Amino acid sequence: MAIPDFQTLMRPVLEFAVAADERAMKETHPALADLFNLTEEERDQLLPSGRVRLFHNRVTWAVTHLKKAGMLEPRRRGVYAITEKGRMALKQAPERVTLNYLMQFEDYREFRNKSNLPETNTFDGCGSQSSSPIKPDEQDEGQTPEEVLGSAWTAIRDNLETDLLDQMKQVSPSFFEQVVVDVLVAMGYGGERSDAARSVGQSGDGGIDGIIDEDPLGLDVIYLQAKRWENVVGRPEIQKFAGALQGRRAKKGVFITTSHFTREARAYADMLENRIILIDGRKLARLMIDHDVGVSPVEQYVIKRLDTDYFAGE
């Protein structure tokens, strides 16, 4: 079962609240997860930020909207209770309580107007941003604000990954090898960029394009194979690289390409005694973004939330 959106969760929250004098958020999350038969994987799924669990976030926003509509009331930190308005709503509300349904309540309309939620920013396809009014139920199946930001972040990142990959396919093989070294240095390998890599691009290298220190002290080394290819990398290329490592009595290698690897190539690398890491073009683009290689920040948004610990001693 897919994880329900926060609008779908609102009526179950009310039904859960009405069965007790008050409810704690820490008991609401597992109770609703059980109600919808969510798997452990679904319960633990994170937002793109990697900091907040998706289902918890949706439950929290369902409770928030119901509070704004006057159907729930806060009792103390992390604890809420159903109101008389909430009890009445359970008798009259449809099977799925939505944002449009909540708009009939004056308190909720005031909340919407203050927060300007009926408007959304859209892009006209030419990079220009415009605002247009929308109905609450037209918001991506009731995505929470964090999900909207997460979806936008994911779309921007996916587009950047594609742009990076396209750019790397156009650079010279020698520059691509520099990119590989820069990424590994940014990840903490090799010490300084000036002396990080050795023997890059030498002829007769036996299938090895470079050597980089695993640590700044050079206690161990990693052998590199960097291929700016369009064609898929198959098992024979991995076998050649593995043979080159064996010839140097090397234990660790990284094979990086702008294309991708066949299933047979990955299976062969997994069965080797020596450790060979395969990094395809898409993964390389992700590493470049994560470690600020070939990219630069444009905008940064910091999302903050209430620090309940600050008010704990009040």
pLDDT tens-digit map of 209-267: 788 887 767 678 888 898 888 889 999 999 999 988 888 888 889 999 999 999 999 99
Q: Note whether residue 193 is domain-resident.
A: yes
pLDDT attached to residue 301: 75
Q: Are residues 98 and 212 in the same domain?
A: no
> Looking at the structure, do residues 313 and 171 belong to the same domain, yes or no?
yes
- Domain for residue 237, yes or no? yes
Residue 52, domain member (yes or no): yes
The per-residue pLDDT for 266 is 95
Residues 154 and 90 in one domain: no
For residue 148, what pLDDT band results from cuts at 50, 70 and 90?
confident
Instruction: Give the domain CATH number at 152.
Output: 3.40.1350.10
Distance of CA 306 to the CA centre of its chain: 23
pLDDT, residue 201, reads: 47
Q: Is residue 140 part of a domain?
A: no
Question: Is residue 18's pLDDT more than 90?
Answer: yes
Do 209 and 300 lie in a common domain? Answer: yes
Q: What percent of the chain has pLDDT over 70?
A: 83
Is residue 56 a contact partner of residue 305, using CB atoms and an 8 Å limit? no
Domain total for the chain? 2
* Phi and psi angles of residue 300, each rounded to the nearest 5 degrees, phi first: -135, 130
Of 117, 138, 157, which marks where a domain is finished? 117
pLDDT band at residue 203 using 50, 70 and 90 as cut-offs = very low
Q: Is the confidence at residue 147, as pLDDT, over 90?
A: no
Q: Are residues 253 and 157 located together in one domain of the fold?
A: yes
Residue 19 lies in a domain: yes
Residues 38 and 168 in one domain: no
Same domain, 29 and 168: no
CA torsion through residues 200, 204, 208, 211, sign: negative
What is the pLDDT averaged over residues 185-209?
Answer: 63
Q: What is the mean pLDDT of residues 146-175?
A: 86
**Cβ contact 168:228 at 8 Å:** yes
* Dist CA 142 CA 149 (whole Å): 13
CA distance 157 to 12: 35
Residues 5, 32 contacting (CB under 8 angstroms)? no
Check which CATH number belongs to the domain holding 71 and give it.
Answer: 1.10.10.10
| pLDDT of the residue at 156 | 84
Task: Specify the pLDDT at position 197.
Answer: 59
pLDDT at 298 over 80: no
Q: What would the pLDDT profile of 76-125 be if each residue is shown by its tens digit?
A: 888 999 999 999 999 998 999 999 999 999 989 988 887 654 443 333 33
23-58: pLDDT as tens digits:
999 999 999 999 999 999 999 998 887 878 999 999
Are 85 and 166 in the same domain?
no
Which range of residues forms the domain containing residue 217?
Answer: 146-314
pLDDT of residue 124: 33
Last residue of a domain, one of 117, 132, 157: 117
Instruction: Please indicate, yes or no, whether residues 161 and 266 belong to a single structural domain of this protein.
Output: yes
Q: Are residues 72 and 154 in the same domain?
A: no
Is position 255 within any domain?
yes
Q: Quote the pLDDT of residue 236.
A: 93
Q: Please tell me the pTM assigned to this model.
A: 0.65
Whether 126 maps to a domain, the answer reads no
The alpha carbon of 32 is separated from its chain's Cα centroid by a whole number of angstroms, namely 24
- Residue 208 scores a pLDDT above 90: no
The Cα-based distances of 130 to 29, 121, 147 in angstroms read 37, 6, 20
The label of the residue with tokens 């060979």 reads: 276
Q: What is the mean pLDDT of the chain?
A: 83
**Per-residue confidence band for 135, with pLDDT thresholds at 50, 70 and 90:** very low
Cβ-contact 197, 181 below 8 angstroms: yes
Q: Which pLDDT score, from 0 to 100, does residue 210 have?
A: 80
110 and 163 fall within a common domain? no
Region 159-164: mean pLDDT is 88
Q: Phi and psi (nearest 5°) for 82? A: -75, 145
Residues 92, 166, single domain; the answer is no
